[in-house]
Amino acid sequence: MPVVVAEYVVRWTTSPFGQVADAPWRITLDAPTHLTNALAKLPADYDVIDDVAVHRTAIIEPGAIIKGPAIVGPRCFVAASAYLRGGVFMDEDCIVGPGAELKTTFMFKGSKLAHFNFVGDSILGAGVNLEAGSIIANYRNELDDKVIRLRLGDRVIDTGVEKFGALMGDGTRVGANAVIAPGAVFAKDARVGRMSLVDQYPFANGPTIRR
């Protein structure tokens, strides 16, 4: 049974990517292409410089760095010293706080990175909140075999990619200084405590499904 983004992120179907039905790790792998396609269809209330589009109601503080392709939506806020790169989409009312790095990630309405976060190769649903210092890692540096695998229920999924952070369902909350290991899927309204480690890698043997 495939992992369907729209079952975790309600706004996916009405976003510029609503027709993309790939697995979440394939979506992030192809994020630059998806963002480039979406840039060509934006309404006139975006200011576009090269491949970075910023809605006229968004606030980008001096010192923030945004590398395209990127879309920063209505009423979003990107703080000084934030760093966005690798294909980034911010829906409406999203916040990327000071010292936070957002890499190859889709953020949906009202999601927030407090400050000093790293989020890599991920899809964050609406209303997701990451407290200060929390991390979504995207690469299995500690393993010889870098392919991302995860246990989801009674299944082990082999993603076939080497970089993937997390799919976080709408309303997920992550406490300060928590670490999400590469390859995680969270149901809607999930809660992760402060200083926690969440690692869904299937260290035990189990049936493997390639998606």
pLDDT of 40: 93
Helices (H), the chain: 24-29, 31-39
What pTM was computed for the model?
A: 0.95
Per-residue pLDDT tens digits for 180-196: 999 999 999 999 999 99
pLDDT of 43 > 90? The answer is: yes
pLDDT of 114: 92
Q: How confident is the model at residue 2 (pLDDT cuts 50, 70, 90)?
A: confident
Q: Which of 207, 188, 45, 178 is nearest to 114 (CA)?
A: 178
Judged by average pLDDT, the poorest of 101-110, 116-125, 179-188, 198-207 is 198-207
pLDDT of 206 > 50? The answer is: no
pLDDT of 207: 44
Query: Distances from the Cα of 7 to the Cαs of 18, 37, 188, in angstroms?
Result: 12, 23, 9
d(CA 134, CA 177): 4
Q: Over pLDDT 70: what percentage of the chain?
A: 96
Please identify every residue annotated as catalytic. Answer: 115
Q: List the structure tokens of 33.
A: 């292409």
Per-residue pLDDT tens digits for 73-87: 999 999 999 999 999
pLDDT of 174 > 50? The answer is: yes
- All domains of the chain in start order, with CATH: 5-146+163-198 (2.160.10.10)
Residue pair 165/155 in contact (Cβ under 8 Å)? The answer is no
Pairing of strands 101-107, 83-90: parallel
